[in-house]
C-alpha cells in the first residue's frame, strides 16, 4: 500500500469505513495509515489515523487506539493550524476514548494515566470546552482503582458540568451514570436512570445494546422478571455477533446461568466460541470470561463438569477443564490490575461476580433451547427421583395416608406422593415394610410403566394383580385386571384380546363381595373403560376388514355398508354412554362427568356443536360438584376452543379462565400447557389482550418443554407467544422467539411452514433487517411454488423484492420483482401490485447512475404502469379511489424521475451538480421542467377529486410544481398555485386539513416571492 496516491488512499479509507468491524478491518486500517504516512499528504495521514482509531473503537482491539492517537496528537502539537474545525473536533473527541482505554490497560502505570488526564483537562480548558468530559474520565479512573470518595465527587461534578460538543452522547452518559448506582446496590435507582435508553428515547451505535445487558441482574433483584426476560431477548438480538459488545454477551450468558437457563447460556457461548481467546483488550476479556465462568460453574454444580464444551485455542475441553483455564486467565488479569492500581478493587469485584448464587430457579424465556444432556453416570429415574430426607415413622405414616387418599380421590398429586413413598420404601429394610405397602408401591410403578407404554407393563400389572389377590385385596386386584386391558390396547393388541381382558375386568368387579363399598365403583369403571375403548376397537376391526376387502377384491357397495355400520356403531355408543350417565349421575358423578365429556367429543365429531357445548359444560359442572375440579379442566378447555371457533369470544374466555382456575392442582405438564395455550389463544383472538396472552403462552411453552413436547406443543406455544409479542409492540422479542421455534414449525406441515416464514419475514422487515427478511420471503415463495394459485408466490416474491431493494441489493431485487410481475400477470387481478412493481423497477434502473438511457427506460416502465391503471379504470369502476390514487402517484413519480435527470445533467451555472461533463441543453432542461409541472398538475387534479384525506399527497405535487415554476423564472406562478391550495385548505371544516399544512403553505409562498 506504500505506493498508493492520496486519492487512492481516500477512496480506500471510504471503503474501509464500510467494512464490518473486526480484525480484518483493523488490519486494513493499519496498512492505510502506513501508506498515508509515506504518501506525504498530511491531511490524508490525519484522516487515516482517525479511521484507524475508529476501527479499533468498535472491535475487541480497543486498547490499540492509544498509539495512533498519540501520533495524531503529535501532528496537532507540531502544527495546530493544519487542523481545521472538523479535524480539531475529531482529535479532542477521541481524547475521551483513549482515556478510557489507558484506564482499562493494566500495563499503563497509574502515574501515566493521571498525567494523561491532567493533560486532557488542560487542553480542554484552553480549547474552551466544558469540564464535563474530564470529570467523566476522572470518575472512571477513581471507580477502577477503588477510590470511592473521589468517584462520588467526580460523578457529582460530571453531572453538574455544562454539556457541550465534547460531551458523550446522552445514551452513553446515561449508561455510565446508571452503572454508578448499580455498583452501589441501588438497583431501582439504576433502572430509573437507564430508563431513557431502555425506552429508546436515547440511542447511539451501541445503545441500548449495552444498557439492556447491564439491566438484567438489577431487574431480577427487583423482582421485575418480565422486563428482565424482554431485555434479554431484545438485547441479545442486538449484541449477537458483535465483538465490540463481548462484555454484553458475557452478561447475557451470566443471566442465563443465574435463571435456570443454562442450556440457553451454552448455546450463546457456542455462538461466540471463536472469541474465547486471549484478546488485545484485556478488560473486555476479563468481563467476557467472567460471564462465561459463572455459566461453567453452574454446569459443574449441575453435574455437567465432564461434558464437552467449546474449544479453546483449537483444543477440546470439558466444562471443568475450560473452567480451570479461564479461571487462571481472569485471575491473572485481575492480579495485573491490582498491582497497577495498588488496590484489590478489580479482584474483589471479580470474586463477587464469580460466586453469585442463582437469582431464579427457572425463569422461562420463551425461546427454544436444546435441553442439557443427562449428567454422566446417572440413570433417568435417578436423576428425576426425589432425594429422601430422613423423616420419623409418624411422618412417614402421614405421607403414606396422603398418598392413599390422593389415589383414591383421583387427585393429580397422587403420582408425586407415591413416587416419594417409593423412594422412602426403597431406603427401608425389607422386614420393616408392610406387604400391603409393598404391593401399593409396585402398583404405582406398574401404572407408571403402563402410561409410558413400557414393554413390560403387562407383566408388571399381572404381578400387581396377583400380589393383591394374595393379600386378599380383591377390589384392588379387580382394578389391576382392568388396567391390563388398557395396556393391551395401548400396545396394539388384537380387538378380541382387548375385549377378553375387559370382560375379565368386569367379571372381577362383579365378583366382589356385595358388602364391598367400592364394588359399584369398580363395575362402573369397568363399563366406562369398555365404552372408552370401543371406538378404537371398532376402528381397528374396520381397518382389518378394509384390508381384507382389498385382498379379496370385494365388489362395489361395501363402502356404503361400512358407512351404515359406522353410523350404527356411533349411535349405539352414544346411547350406551347416555345410559351410563343416567345410571351413575347421582352416585358416581365424577365417572358420569367422564362419560359426558366423551359424549361431547362424539357430538363434535358429528358436527353437533351446540349439543357438544351443553355436554362439555355439564361434564365440567359434574366434576366440580364431585369435588374433583381438576377433572373439569379438559372439557372446559375443549369448550373454550369450540366457542372461539363459533365466534363467541366472551363465552370462550369465560370457559378458558374457568379451566385454568380448576387446573390449579393438575400436575401433568402437557395438560397444564394446553390449558395455558388455550387461554392465550382465546385472549389474543378474542379481545386482543396481547400482554396477558403472552404471559400464558410463555408459561405454556415452559410446560410443554417439561413434558418433552418442545417440538410439538412447545412450538405452537412459541408461535402464539411471538404473535402476542408482535401484537403488543414487542417486535424484537417476537422475532427472537419465532426464530428459535422456526425449525420445529417447519416440520408441522407446508401450511404452517409458509405461515411461519411469512410472519418472521414481516417481523424482520419491521426491525429493518431487510436482507434476513428477504430470505424468509424467498423461502416462503419456494414452498408455494407448486400451488395451483400463483398469488401467494407472487406476494412473497414482491415482499422479498421490496426487502432486497431496501438492503441495497439492486440486482437481486430486480430479479425478484420480475418474478413477482410475471406471477401477478398470471392472475390478472392484482393491478395495484403490478403497478407498484413497475414503479420499483423504474427506480432500481437508476440506482447506479442517472443517464438519459436509464431515465428513458424508467419512463417506459412508468408509462406502462399508468396504462395498466387506465385500462383497469376503463374496464371497471372509473371512480375507484385506490386506482385513481395509484395513477396520481405514478404521474408524481414520473415527474420525480425527470427531475432526477435534470438534476444530474443540467448545464453549468444552473446550480445543479453533474460528474461526467455530459449536460442537457437549456431548451431540453426547460422542456423537461414543463413536463414535470404538467405531470404534477395532473396528479394534483386526481388527488383533488379524491377528497381532503389526500391533501398531503396533493400538497407535495403543488409544492414540487411551484418550486419548478420558480426554477423556470416564474415564481409568481408558483406562488399562485400554492395560494390556491392554501385558500381551499382554509375553507375546509376544522380538522379536515393537517395542522402543519396551512403554516407550511404560507412559508412557501413567502419564500417563493422573496
Mean pLDDT of all residues in 359-371: 92
pLDDT class of 387 with cuts at 50, 70, 90: low
Q: Is 70 exceeded by the pLDDT of residue 2?
A: no
Q: Is 80 exceeded by the pLDDT of residue 568?
A: no
The answer to whether the Cα torsion of 640, 643, 648, 651 is positive or negative is negative
Report the distance separating Cα 601 and Cα 459, nearest Å.
Answer: 33
662-687 confidence digits (pLDDT tens): 999 999 999 999 999 999 999 999 99
Q: Would you say 489 and 459 are in contact if contact means Cβ atoms under 8 Å apart?
A: no
Q: Is 50 exceeded by the pLDDT of residue 910?
A: no
Q: Would you say 655 and 643 are in contact if contact means Cβ atoms under 8 Å apart?
A: yes
Report the distance separating Cα 220 and Cα 761, nearest Å.
Answer: 32
Report the distance separating Cα 366 and Cα 373, nearest Å.
Answer: 20
User: What local confidence, expressed as pLDDT, does residue 21 receive?
Assistant: 85
pLDDT class of 253 with cuts at 50, 70, 90: very high
Mean pLDDT of all residues in 872-901: 94
Number of H helices, E strands in the chain: 46, 0
- The dihedral region occupied by 40, where left means phi > 0, alpha psi between -120 and 50, and beta the remainder, is left
% of the chain surpassing 90 pLDDT:
77
What residues pair up with 318 in beta bridges, in sequence order? 308
Report the distance separating Cα 718 and Cα 672, nearest Å.
Answer: 15
Report the distance separating Cα 626 and Cα 629, nearest Å.
Answer: 8
pLDDT class of 380 with cuts at 50, 70, 90: very low
**Closest by CA position to 652, among listed 664, 666, 660, 641:** 641
Lowest average pLDDT, out of 41-55, 548-562, 817-831, goes to 548-562
Instruction: Look up residue 545 and give its three cell numbers.
Output: 376388514
Q: Is 312 helix (H, G, I), strand (E, B) or coil?
A: strand
Q: Is residue 397 reached through a cis peptide bond, with omega within 30 degrees of 0 on the bond before it? A: no
Q: Is 90 exceeded by the pLDDT of residue 518?
A: yes
- Helix axis angle for 519-552 and 495-510, nearest 10°, is 160
- Those residues whose C-beta lies under 8 Å from the C-beta of residue 467, and which sit 6 or more positions away, are 438, 439, 442
Buried b (16+ CB within 10 A) or exposed e, 512-528: beeeeebbebbbbbbbb
pTM of the model: 0.86
Residue 499 CA: distances (Å) to CA of 453, 484, 503, 533, 609: 19, 11, 6, 9, 31
107-143 confidence digits (pLDDT tens): 999 999 999 999 999 999 999 999 999 999 999 999 9
Q: Would you say 765 and 798 are in contact if contact means Cβ atoms under 8 Å apart?
A: no
Q: Is 60 exceeded by the pLDDT of residue 51?
A: yes
pLDDT class of 373 with cuts at 50, 70, 90: confident
Mean pLDDT of all residues in 777-789: 95
Mean pLDDT of all residues in 158-174: 94
Q: Would you say 980 and 1001 are in contact if contact means Cβ atoms under 8 Å apart?
A: no
User: What local confidence, expressed as pLDDT, does residue 915 receive?
Assistant: 47
Report the distance separating Cα 275 and Cα 62, nearest Å.
Answer: 15
**Closest by CA position to 257, among listed 335, 355, 350:** 355
- Backbone φ and ψ of 663, nearest 5°: -90, 10
Report the distance separating Cα 388 and Cα 427, nearest Å.
Answer: 8
Q: Is residue 145 reached through a cis peptide bond, with omega within 30 degrees of 0 on the bond before it? A: no
Q: Would you say 626 and 648 are in contact if contact means Cβ atoms under 8 Å apart?
A: no
* C-beta neighbour count of 742 within 10 angstroms: 20
Q: Is 80 exceeded by the pLDDT of residue 778?
A: yes
- Backbone φ and ψ of 443, nearest 5°: -60, -45
440-490 confidence digits (pLDDT tens): 999 999 999 998 889 999 999 999 999 999 999 999 999 999 999 999 998
**DSSP-assigned letter for residue 62:** G
688-719 confidence digits (pLDDT tens): 999 999 999 999 999 999 999 999 999 999 99
**Closest by CA position to 231, among listed 272, 190, 286, 181:** 190
R_g over Cα of the chain? 38
Report the distance separating Cα 474 and Cα 106, nearest Å.
Answer: 80
Report the distance separating Cα 125 and Cα 134, nearest Å.
Answer: 10
What residues pair up with 308 in beta bridges, in sequence order? 318
Buried b (16+ CB within 10 A) or exposed e, 123-149: bbeeeebbbbbbbbbbbbbbbbbbbee
* C-beta neighbour count of 606 within 10 angstroms: 13
Residues listed for the chain: 1010
Residue 639 CA: distances (Å) to CA of 591, 598, 716, 954: 19, 13, 19, 53
Mean pLDDT of all residues in 492-508: 92
What residues pair up with 451 in beta bridges, in sequence order? none
User: What local confidence, expressed as pLDDT, does residue 134 receive?
Assistant: 95
User: What local confidence, expressed as pLDDT, does residue 913 receive?
Assistant: 43
Q: Is 921 helix (H, G, I), strand (E, B) or coil?
A: coil
573-597 confidence digits (pLDDT tens): 999 999 999 999 999 999 999 999 9
Q: Is 70 exceeded by the pLDDT of residue 326?
A: yes
Mean pLDDT of all residues in 963-988: 94
Report the distance separating Cα 659 and Cα 641, nearest Å.
Answer: 11
Mean pLDDT of all residues in 555-571: 55
Lowest average pLDDT, out of 81-90, 819-828, 909-918, goes to 909-918
Q: Is 70 exceeded by the pLDDT of residue 801?
A: yes
**Closest by CA position to 43, among listed 11, 81, 82, 8:** 82
* C-beta neighbour count of 178 within 10 angstroms: 26
Q: Is 90 exceeded by the pLDDT of residue 903?
A: no
The answer to whether the Cα torsion of 157, 158, 159, 162 is positive or negative is positive
The owner of cell 496537532 is 76
User: What local confidence, expressed as pLDDT, does residue 4 receive?
Assistant: 87
Buried b (16+ CB within 10 A) or exposed e, 465-504: bebbbebebbbbbbbbbbbbbbbbbbeebebeebbebbeb
Instruction: Look up residue 14 and give its three cell numbers.
Output: 471510504
User: What local confidence, expressed as pLDDT, does residue 561 receive?
Assistant: 46
User: What local confidence, expressed as pLDDT, does residue 106 receive?
Assistant: 94
**Closest by CA position to 257, among listed 304, 293, 307:** 293
Instruction: Look up residue 539 and give its three cell numbers.
Output: 376402528
Report the distance separating Cα 11 and Cα 44, nearest Å.
Answer: 11
Burial class (CB in 10 A: 0-12, 13-18, 19+), 42: middle
Instruction: Look up residue 427 and give its three cell numbers.
Output: 431406603
**DSSP-assigned letter for residue 849:** -
27-37 confidence digits (pLDDT tens): 999 999 988 88
Instruction: Look up residue 807 and give its three cell numbers.
Output: 438492503
Q: Would you say 257 and 295 are in contact if contact means Cβ atoms under 8 Å apart?
A: yes
Strands (E), 64-213: none
Q: How confident is the prediction for the chain on average, in pLDDT?
A: 91
pLDDT class of 240 with cuts at 50, 70, 90: very high
Amino acid at each position: 500500500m506504500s505506493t498508493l496516491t492520496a486519492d487512492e488512499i481516500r477512496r480506500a479509507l471510504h471503503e474501509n469505513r464500510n467494512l464490518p468491524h473486526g480484525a480484518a478491518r483493523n488490519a486494513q486500517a493499519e496498512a492505510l495509515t502506513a501508506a498515508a504516512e509515506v504518501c506525504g499528504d498530511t491531511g490524508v495521514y490525519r484522516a487515516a489515523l482517525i479511521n484507524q482509531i475508529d476501527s479499533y473503537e468498535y472491535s475487541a482491539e480497543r486498547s490499540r487506539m492509544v498509539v495512533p492517537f498519540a501520533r495524531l496528537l503529535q501532528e496537532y502539537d507540531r502544527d495546530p493550524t493544519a487542523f481545521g474545525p472538523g479535524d480539531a473536533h475529531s482529535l479532542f473527541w477521541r481524547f475521551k476514548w483513549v482515556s478510557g482505554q489507558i484506564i482499562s490497560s493494566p500495563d499503563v502505570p497509574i502515574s501515566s494515566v493521571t498525567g494523561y488526564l491532567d493533560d486532557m483537562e488542560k487542553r480542554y480548558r484552553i480549547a474552551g470546552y466544558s469540564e464535563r468530559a474530564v470529570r467523566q474520565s476522572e470518575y472512571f479512573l477513581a471507580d477502577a482503582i477503588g477510590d470511592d470518595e473521589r468517584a462520588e465527587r467526580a460523578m457529582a461534578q460530571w453531572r453538574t458540568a455544562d454539556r457541550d460538543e465534547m460531551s458523550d452522547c446522552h445514551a452513553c452518559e446515561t449508561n455510565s451514570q446508571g452503572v454508578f448506582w448499580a455498583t452501589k446496590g441501588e438497583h431501582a435507582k439504576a433502572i430509573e436512570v437507564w430508563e431513557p435508553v431502555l425506552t429508546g428515547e436515547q440511542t447511539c451505535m451501541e445503545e441500548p445494546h449495552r444498557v439492556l445487558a447491564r439491566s438484567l441482574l438489577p431487574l431480577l433483584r427487583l423482582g421485575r422478571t418480565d422486563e428482565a426476560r424482554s431485555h434479554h431477548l431484545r438485547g441479545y438480538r442486538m449484541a449477537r455477533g458483535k465483538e465490540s459488545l463481548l462484555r454484553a454477551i458475557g452478561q447475557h450468558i451470566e443471566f442465563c446461568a443465574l435463571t435456570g437457563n443454562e442450556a440457553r447460556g451454552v448455546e450463546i457461548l457456542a455462538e461466540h466460541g471463536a472469541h474465547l481467546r486471549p484478546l488485545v483488550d484485556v478488560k473486555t476479556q476479563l468481563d467476557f470470561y467472567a460471564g462465561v465462568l459463572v455459566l461453567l460453574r453452574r454446569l459443574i454444580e449441575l453435574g455437567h463438569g465432564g461434558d464437552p464444551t467449546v474449544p479453546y485455542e483449537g483444543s477440546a475441553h470439558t466444562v471443568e477443564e475450560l473452567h480451570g483455564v479461564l479461571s487462571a486467565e481472569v485471575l491473572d488479569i485481575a492480579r495485573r490490575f491490582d498491582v497497577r492500581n495498588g488496590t484489590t478493587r478489580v479482584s474483589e469485584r471479580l470474586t463477587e461476580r464469580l460466586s453469585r448464587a442463582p437469582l431464579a430457579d427457572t425463569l422461562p424465556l420463551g425461546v427454544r433451547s436444546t435441553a442439557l444432556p443427562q449428567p454422566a453416570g446417572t440413570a433417568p429415574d435417578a436423576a428425576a427421583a426425589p432425594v429422601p430426607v430422613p423423616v420419623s415413622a409418624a411422618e412417614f405414616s402421614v405421607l403414606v395416608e396422603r398418598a392413599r387418599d390422593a389415589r383414591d380421590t383421583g387427585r393429580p398429586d397422587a403420582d408425586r406422593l407415591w413416587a416419594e413413598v417409593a423412594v422412602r420404601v426403597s431406603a427401608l429394610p425389607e422386614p420393616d415394610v408392610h406387604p400391603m405397602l409393598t404391593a401399593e408401591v409396585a402398583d404405582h410403578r406398574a401404572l407408571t410403566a403402563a402410561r409410558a407404554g413400557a414393554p413390560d407393563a403387562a407383566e408388571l400389572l399381572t404381578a400387581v394383580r396377583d400380589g393383591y389377590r394374595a393379600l386378599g385385596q380383591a377390589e384392588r386386584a379387580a382394578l389391576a385386571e382392568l388396567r391390563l386391558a388398557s395396556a393391551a390396547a395401548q400396545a396394539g393388541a388384537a380387538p378380541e384380546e382387548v375385549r377378553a381382558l375387559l370382560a375379565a375386568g368386569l367379571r372381577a368387579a362383579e365378583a366382589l363381595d356385595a358388602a364391598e363399598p367400592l364394588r359399584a365403583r369398580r363395575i362402573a369403571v369397568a363399563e366406562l373403560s369398555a365404552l372408552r375403548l370401543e371406538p378404537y376397537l371398532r376402528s381397528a376391526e374396520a381397518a382389518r376388514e378394509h384390508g381384507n376387502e382389498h385382498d379379496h377384491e370385494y365388489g362395489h357397495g361395501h363402502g356404503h355398508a361400512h358407512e351404515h355400520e359406522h353410523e350404527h356403531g356411533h349411535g349405539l355408543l352414544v346411547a350406551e354412554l347416555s345410559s351410563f350417565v343416567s345410571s351413575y349421575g347421582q352416585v358416581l358423578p365424577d365417572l358420569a362427568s367422564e362419560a359426558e365429556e366423551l359424549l361431547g367429543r362424539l357430538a363434535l365429531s358429528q358436527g353437533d356443536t351446540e349439543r357438544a357445548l351443553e355436554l362439555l359444560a355439564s361434564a365440567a359442572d359434574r366434576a366440580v360438584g364431585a369435588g374433583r375440579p381438576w377433572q373439569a379442566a379438559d372439557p372446559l378447555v375443549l369448550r373454550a376452543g369450540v366457542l372461539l371457533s363459533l365466534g363467541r369470544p366472551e363465552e370462550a374466555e369465560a370457559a378458558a379462565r374457568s379451566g385454568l382456575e380448576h387446573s390449579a392442582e393438575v400436575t401433568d405438564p402437557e395438560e397444564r400447557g394446553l390449558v395455558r395455550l388455550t387461554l392465550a389463544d382465546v385472549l389474543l383472538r378474542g379481545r386482543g389482550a396481547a400482554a396477558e396472552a403472552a404471559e400464558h403462552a410463555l408459561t405454556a411453552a415452559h410446560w410443554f418443554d417439561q413434558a418433552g413436547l418442545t417440538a410439538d406443543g412447545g412450538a405452537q406455544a412459541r408461535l402464539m407467544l411471538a404473535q402476542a409479542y408482535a401484537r403488543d409492540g414487542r417486535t424484537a422479542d417476537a422475532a427472537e422467539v419465532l426464530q428459535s421455534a422456526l425449525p420445529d414449525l417447519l416440520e408441522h406441515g407446508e401450511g404452517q411452514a409458509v405461515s411461519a416464514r411469512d410472519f418472521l419475514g414481516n417481523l424482520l422487515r419491521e426491525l429493518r433487517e431487510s436482507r434476513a427478511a428477504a430470505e424468509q420471503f424467498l423461502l416462503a415463495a419456494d414452498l408455494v411454488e407448486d400451488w395451483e394459485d400463483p398469488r401467494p408466490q407472487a406476494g412473497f416474491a414482491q415482499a422479498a423484492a421490496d426487502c432486497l431493494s431496501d438492503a441495497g441489493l439492486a440486482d437481486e431485487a430486480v430479479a425478484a420483482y420480475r418474478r413477482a410481475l410475471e406471477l401477478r400477470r398470471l392472475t390478472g387481478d392484482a393491478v395495484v401490485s403490478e403497478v407498484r412493481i413497475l414503479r420499483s423497477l423504474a427506480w432500481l434502473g437508476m440506482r447506479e447512475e442517472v443517464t438519459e438511457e436509464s431515465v428513458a427506460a424508467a419512463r417506459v416502465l412508468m408509462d406502462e404502469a399508468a396504462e395498466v391503471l387506465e385500462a383497469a379504470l376503463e374496464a371497471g369502476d372509473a371512480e375507484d379511489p385506490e386506482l385513481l390514487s395509484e395513477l396520481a402517484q405514478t404521474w408524481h413519480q414520473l415527474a420525480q424521475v425527470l427531475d432526477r435527470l435534470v438534476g444530474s445533467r443540467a448545464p453549468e451555472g444552473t446550480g445543479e451538480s453533474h460528474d461526467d461533463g455530459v449536460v442537457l441543453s437549456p431548451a431540453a432542461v426547460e422542456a423537461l421542467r414543463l413536463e414535470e409541472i404538467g405531470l404534477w398538475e395532473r396528479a394534483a387534479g386526481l388527488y383533488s377529486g379524491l377528497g381532503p384525506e389526500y391533501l398531503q399527497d396533493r400538497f407535495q405535487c403543488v409544492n414540487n410544481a411551484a418550486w419548478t415554476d420558480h426554477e423556470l423564472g416564474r415564481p409568481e406562478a408558483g406562488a399562485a398555485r400554492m395560494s390556491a391550495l392554501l385558500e381551499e385548505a382554509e375553507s375546509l371544516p376544522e380538522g379536515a386539513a393537517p395542522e402543519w399544512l396551512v403554516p407550511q403553505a404560507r412559508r412557501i409562498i413567502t419564500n417563493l416571492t422573496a
